A and B are shown apart, each in its own frame.
Chain A
Amino acid sequence: MKLVKNGTAGTMESCDILVQVEKTDGKKVSVELDSSVMSLYGNKIREVILETVKECGVSGVKIVAVDKGALDCTIRARVKTALLRACESTEYGWNVK
């Protein structure tokens, strides 16, 4: 997938995560994370975000995420949706892994 614009998914509600993705030059994937459970799950959330970006096959992107205690499944869904929106793609791949 190729990023063509900025993409957003999620909300600031409790147990959700707001994910914004921006296209950047180069191949780097960077994550800027703010989380209400940073001390307990900050590392894990970062890991899940990076994993999801990799699965989507996207690079050259900056992810800004504001987490309000979302579970891993929610984080994956929000990151993937934001990327799909940024790529203007409808290849959702809504299948169960």
Chain B
Amino acid sequence: MKNDIGHEISPALAKKLGLQVHKKATVKDTATLAERLQKNGKLMDSLEDAIRAAGLKDGMTISFHHHFRDGDYVLNDVVKKISEMGYKDITVASSSLSNAHAPLVEYIKNGTVTALQSSGCRGKLADAISKCEVTLKQPVIFRSHGGRASAIANGSLHIDIAFLGVASCDALGNASGTNESGESMCGSLGYARVDARYADKVVLLTEKLAPYPNLPASIPATDVDYVVKVDAIGDSSKISSGATRYTKNPRDLMIAESAAKAIIASGYFKDGFSIQTGSGGAALAVTRFIEGEMSEKGITADFALGGITSQIVKLHEQGLVKKVLDVQGFDGEAARSIRDNPGHIEIDGNQYASPFNEGSAIHQLDVVILSALEIDTHFNVNVLTGSDGIIRGAIGGHPDTAECAALTVIVSPLIRGRIPCVVDKVGCLITEGSVCDMLVTDVGIAVNPRRPELADRLKAAGLTVKTIEQLRDEAYAVVGKPDDLKFGDKPVAVVTDPQGRALDVIYNVVQ
């Protein structure tokens, strides 16, 4: 047979090769760039139009990113609209949930939202879940950042529609977490990039359309289906708050200083090393205390990883950290730097922490400093539930990085108020103790017995090394041994490990 243009094609041959036979081009679009941008099929007039166009149906899974942390508007605005449009039985799979998402309580009560997947949960929403004041059709699934990214990539977390707030975006969807004016910037869109790549449909929300082409882009137009302009996507001033605060608390600073000394003595503080500081006042502040030693001894880090702060940016701009690999910005300075510094590079959730690929950055990590809500005498760490058993934190990259870093340092005060942080058994298991190498507190350092060489190095450097049982006893001596918590029999959440396997179950609390 002949094709439309009169050239001979054997249909059998085409079929054998799995090819269709060419058809003549339809009428060519002769509109100019400016005209095309006006009439392109991606740009929606309203959020409602975008939701309809993306084909939302009852029972679907929608996703969000948490790069604006407590300042996020997008999740609430989208769920409100979806509720108004009458949809039911929606699963919300956000990269995390914060204090800002208390309105979800109402949308769970009215049946719009029936399931949640997240890295963490805080505030009124977390309270309502822990106390069974709201009923979901299944327990919340908590995943680490690496666990979530790999679950999306391998299909175990399937996203029907991703709704992603972006600081700049052109009419075709080339999007970034930064913009020229600096308004409403979140910096890295590391977690959102995974959603954009794998979700069936991707809707971007932005405050102001950028001229085409908005490149380089975090999310390429080819991953995007719809773009909609909204009044506001988030309050970037609230990114650096709570767990990502810049601490001035003297006890946090004291712990950070001890942790810095321990790292310097550990044998891992060498030219070309790599480092990550997790969220939490003391953990983030460690950077401030190794800076002097780095410049004095001429030691530079090949890369710093993770949630990035102004403190890391400062080291990078001084030449002490060669490259910054940024999956999430923790403050405005990190957002500015990822826009302006060529050595400050955005990586996505899988490049950051895929447990299944040796090429992900966590596999090249020398030192990670991580916080704990509580840690037990087996070095198991809880960062998700409070001492009262109520959900109040997030897994984040805790188990991902703890498992892979050569040296995993946990920092925590011995007690918080009357709450002991070193206990007999953690209320919720997030990171198993076998991968946590040392605990630095305000009254001394405990080294995991699996790493005797580290204890020797710390002692040789004159640091106070105690057993973890000693630290627990010191805590109980001040505050008393706590009563056991009373839990109900209803599982409200399941914690998964980075590989996506069930690790622990959180039950409802009984008052």
Contact A37 to B480, CB < 8 A, known contacts A14-B417, A69-B418, A69-B419: no
Q: Are A71 and B482 in contact (CB under 8 A)?
A: no
Once the chains are docked, how many angstroms separate the CA of A38 from the CA of B511? 9
Contact A40 to B419, CB < 8 A, known contacts A71-B478, A71-B479, A72-B480: yes
Q: Are B482 and A15 in contact (CB under 8 A)?
A: no
The answer to whether B397 has its CB under 8 Å from any CB of chain A is no
Interface of B is mostly: loop
Which one, B417, B479, B480, B483, contacts A39 given CB within 8 A?
Answer: B483
Q: Are B418 and A37 in contact (CB under 8 A)?
A: yes
Q: Are A44 and B480 in contact (CB under 8 A)?
A: yes
Number of inter-chain CB pairs below 8 Å: 43
Contact with A along B412-449 (1 / 0, CB 8 A): 00000111000000000000000000000000000000
Cβ–Cβ < 8 Å partners of B509 in chain A: 39
Contact with A along B451-489 (1 / 0, CB 8 A): 000000000000000000000000000111011011000
Q: Are B486 and A39 in contact (CB under 8 A)?
A: yes
The answer to whether B387 has its CB under 8 Å from any CB of chain A is yes
- A74 smallest CB distance to B (angstroms): 9
The answer to whether B291 has its CB under 8 Å from any CB of chain A is no
Q: Are B417 and A68 in contact (CB under 8 A)?
A: yes
Cβ–Cβ < 8 Å partners of B418 in chain A: 15, 37, 40-41, 69-71
Q: Are B417 and A37 in contact (CB under 8 A)?
A: yes
Chain B residue nearest to A36 (CB atoms) is B417
Cβ–Cβ < 8 Å partners of B419 in chain A: 37, 40, 69
User: In the complex, given contacts A39-B388, A39-B483, A41-B479, what are 10 additional A-B residue pairs having Cβ atoms less than 8 angstroms apart?
Assistant: A14-B417, A37-B388, A37-B482, A39-B389, A40-B388, A41-B418, A42-B483, A68-B417, A69-B418, A71-B418
Once the chains are docked, how many angstroms separate the CA of A63 from the CA of B150? 55
The answer to whether A90 has its CB under 8 Å from any CB of chain B is no
| A-B residue pairs in contact (CB < 8 Å), sample of 22 | A14-B417, A15-B417, A36-B417, A37-B419, A37-B482, A39-B483, A39-B485, A39-B486, A39-B509, A40-B388, A40-B418, A40-B483, A41-B418, A41-B480, A41-B483, A42-B483, A44-B480, A44-B483, A70-B418, A71-B418, A71-B479, A72-B480
Chain A residue nearest to B387 (CB atoms) is A40
- A85 smallest CB distance to B (angstroms): 25
Within 8 A of B (CB), among A10-66: 14-15, 36-44
Cβ–Cβ < 8 Å partners of B486 in chain A: 39
Once the chains are docked, how many angstroms separate the CA of A72 from the CA of B482? 13
- A67 smallest CB distance to B (angstroms): 8
Chain A residue nearest to B510 (CB atoms) is A39
Once the chains are docked, how many angstroms separate the CA of A39 from the CA of B131? 14
Q: Are A37 and B478 in contact (CB under 8 A)?
A: no
Once the chains are docked, how many angstroms separate the CA of A72 from the CA of B476? 12
Once the chains are docked, how many angstroms separate the CA of A38 from the CA of B396? 28
Once the chains are docked, how many angstroms separate the CA of A68 from the CA of B482? 15
The 8 closest A-B pairs by CB, nearest first: A69-B417, A40-B482, A69-B418, A39-B388, A37-B418, A15-B417, A39-B485, A44-B480
Once the chains are docked, how many angstroms separate the CA of A72 from the CA of B418? 10
Chain A residue nearest to B482 (CB atoms) is A40
Once the chains are docked, how many angstroms separate the CA of A49 from the CA of B485? 22
- B231 smallest CB distance to A (angstroms): 38
Contact A40 to B417, CB < 8 A, known contacts A71-B478, A71-B479, A72-B480: no
Q: Are A41 and B482 in contact (CB under 8 A)?
A: yes
Once the chains are docked, how many angstroms separate the CA of A36 from the CA of B388? 9
- A52 smallest CB distance to B (angstroms): 15
Cβ–Cβ < 8 Å partners of A14 in chain B: 417
Cβ–Cβ < 8 Å partners of A40 in chain B: 387-388, 418-419, 482-483, 485
Cβ–Cβ < 8 Å partners of A68 in chain B: 417
Chain A residue nearest to B390 (CB atoms) is A39
Chain B residue nearest to A70 (CB atoms) is B418
Once the chains are docked, how many angstroms separate the CA of A43 from the CA of B485? 12
